[in-house]
């Protein structure tokens, strides 16, 4: 080895060390960029899942990855939701955390307790109340729109109306409308949209529940101490209690009220905001929906609203847990076994775009058969308040759609803003 060799080797080592250090830096930067890209891609898919659903419907209609299954075709989604004995709801444990003890029927499997509690609640929330609800919702929304001065936040409008409807129809006036809407929203997110069990969200939801429970307890105690002639849900519940019906004690009444109120506010607001946002994207459909609103043709208006909501529904699907090994689409080429314990997303949004069942699924069309729309789920745990929501959501939007020159506010304010899984703002204006 020459005398120069050691120095050369040292310089080479030094150079390699610098290259390695710079390479690691570049690699780390690349990894950061890749992770950011993946995060952005996941968010894009969450915001706009239909292109992915469309591919899966053709290539892998029932996708099973590790302990998760995604079901995308209409018939298969129907099968999952109809087989409530196999594909069971996942909400029980969280329901008990929210109530501070007993389960609420949305978290129950098909059982005598489920039948008992739903029967009680159907007795106090009657389908023939719908006409009264339509009138209340219509007047409340009209008053808010009329007082807005030609500019209004659709999210705020569609949060306020159901809070006031809860006060009137349920007999549960809020001490603070904003607080009740916020509490219901965070509890709903915890129960139905928190797939990752976020500890911050969990703490916020349980804190909200700890405020909702004493509020309802106070209402029930006050109504028992000072009976009124009001024909509302609380009065009807107390009437059943006086007859000695099982599971109609004060705590059971409170828990049923809690579950129904939580389900009534954030979903209504989300559906109103997203349906109007989709109509605003389609000037022709918006104009036709406004014609229906002006004519007082409520069934036609509802068709426009729920067709708009098909493009941006309340959620992309419903989560279930497989209670046993089960083969979905057993008689089809894509038959797929879903193992026991698998978390299953029945993608109702995908189903509503399945061309095997839905004519021209990518086109905005009214007049579709009602069974195409899976906004309220299907089967045992279909939305308990669907008959209210079928009229409440169009009813809240009707006064806005009756206004001339309805349009987005300029700039970012006029775009739908999202916070977590819920819209947080959508500012519109109209001619006064």
DSSP sequence for 300-359 = HHHHHHHHHHHHS-S-S-EEEEESS-EEETTTSTT-EEE-TT-EEEE-HHHHTT-TTTSS
Residues 186, 205: contact at Cβ < 8 Å?
A: yes
Q: What's the pLDDT band for 209 if we cut at 50, 70, 90? A: very high
Does residue 315 carry a pLDDT above 50?
Answer: yes
Q: Which whole number is the average pLDDT over 376-403?
A: 95
Does residue 40 carry a pLDDT above 80?
Answer: no
- Do strands 343-346 and 68-71 pair parallel, antiparallel, or not at all (unpaired)? parallel
Tokens encoding 243: 């007859």
**Confidence at residue 34, expressed as pLDDT on a 0 to 100 scale:** 46
**Confidence at residue 37, expressed as pLDDT on a 0 to 100 scale:** 46
The predicted model scores a pTM of 0.89
Q: Could you tell me what percent of the chain has a pLDDT over 90?
A: 84
For the ranges 40-49, 121-130, 345-354, 400-409, the lowest mean pLDDT is seen at 40-49
- Do strands 151-153 and 417-419 pair parallel, antiparallel, or not at all (unpaired)? unpaired
Q: Which whole number is the average pLDDT over 48-71?
A: 93
More confident position, 1 or 319: 319
**pLDDT for 102-115, tens place per residue?**
888 988 999 999 99
Tokens encoding 67: 């302990």
User: Cα separations (Å) of 305 from 12, 41, 168, 243?
Assistant: 71, 29, 25, 42
- Do strands 407-408 and 427-429 pair parallel, antiparallel, or not at all (unpaired)? antiparallel
The sign of the dihedral angle between the CA atoms of 57, 58, 61, 64 is negative
Does residue 284 carry a pLDDT above 60?
Answer: yes
**pLDDT for 11-31, tens place per residue?**
655 655 665 555 555 545 555
Does residue 1 carry a pLDDT above 60?
Answer: no
Tell me the domains of the chain and their CATH numbers.
Answer: 61-429 (1.10.630.10)
How far apart are the C-alpha atoms of 165 and 234, rounded to whole Å? 13
């Amino acid at each position: 080895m020459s005398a120069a060799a050691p120095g050369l080797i040292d310089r080479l080592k030094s150079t390699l060390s610098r290259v390695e250090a710079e390479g690691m830096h570049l690699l780390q930067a690349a990894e950061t960029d890749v992770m950011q890209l993946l995060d952005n891609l996941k968010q894009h898919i969450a915001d706009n899942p239909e292109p992915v659903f469309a591919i899966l419907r053709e290539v892998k209609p029932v996708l099973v990855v590790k302990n998760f299954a995604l079901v995308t075709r209409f018939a298969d989604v129907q099968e999952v939701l109809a087989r409530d004995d196999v594909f069971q709801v996942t909400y029980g444990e969280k329901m008990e955390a929210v109530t501070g003890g007993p389960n609420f029927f949305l978290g129950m499997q098909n059982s005598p307790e489920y039948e008992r509690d739903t029967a009680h609640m159907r007795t106090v929330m009657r389908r023939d109340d719908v006409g009264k609800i339509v009138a209340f919702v219509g007047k409340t929304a009209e008053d808010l729109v009329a007082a807005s001065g030609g500019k209004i936040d659709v999210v705020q409008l569609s949060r306020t109306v159901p809070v006031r409807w809860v006060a009137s129809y349920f007999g549960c006036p809020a001490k603070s409308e904003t607080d009740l809407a916020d509490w219901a929203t965070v509890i709903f997110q915890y129960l139905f949209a928190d797939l990752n069990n976020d500890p911050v969200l969990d703490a916020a939801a349980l804190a909200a529940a700890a405020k909702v429970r004493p509020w309802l307890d106070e209402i029930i105690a006050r109504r028992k101490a000072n009976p009124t002639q009001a024909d509302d849900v609380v009065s009807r519940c107390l009437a059943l209690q006086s007859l000695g019906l099982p599971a109609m004690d004060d705590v059971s009444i409170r828990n049923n009220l809690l579950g129904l109120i939580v389900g009534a506010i954030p979903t209504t607001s989300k559906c109103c905001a997203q349906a109007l946002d989709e109509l605003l994207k389609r000037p022709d459909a918006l104009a036709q929906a406004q014609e229906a609103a002006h004519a007082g043709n409520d069934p036609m208006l509802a068709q426009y609203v729920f067709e708009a909501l098909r493009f941006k529904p309340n959620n992309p699907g419903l989560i279930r847990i497989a209670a046993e090994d089960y083969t979905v689409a057993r008689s089809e080429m894509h038959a797929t076994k879903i193992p026991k314990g698998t978390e299953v997303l029945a993608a109702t949004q995908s189903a509503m775009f399945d061309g095997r069942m839905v004519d021209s699924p990518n086109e905005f069309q009214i007049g579709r058969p009602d069974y195409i729309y899976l906004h309220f789920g299907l089967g045992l745990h279909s939305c308990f308040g669907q008959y209210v929501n079928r009229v409440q959501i169009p009813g809240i939007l009707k006064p806005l759609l009756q206004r001339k020159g309805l349009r987005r506010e300029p700039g970012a304010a006029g775009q739908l803003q999202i916070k977590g899984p819920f819209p947080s703002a959508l500012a519109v204006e109209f001619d006064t």
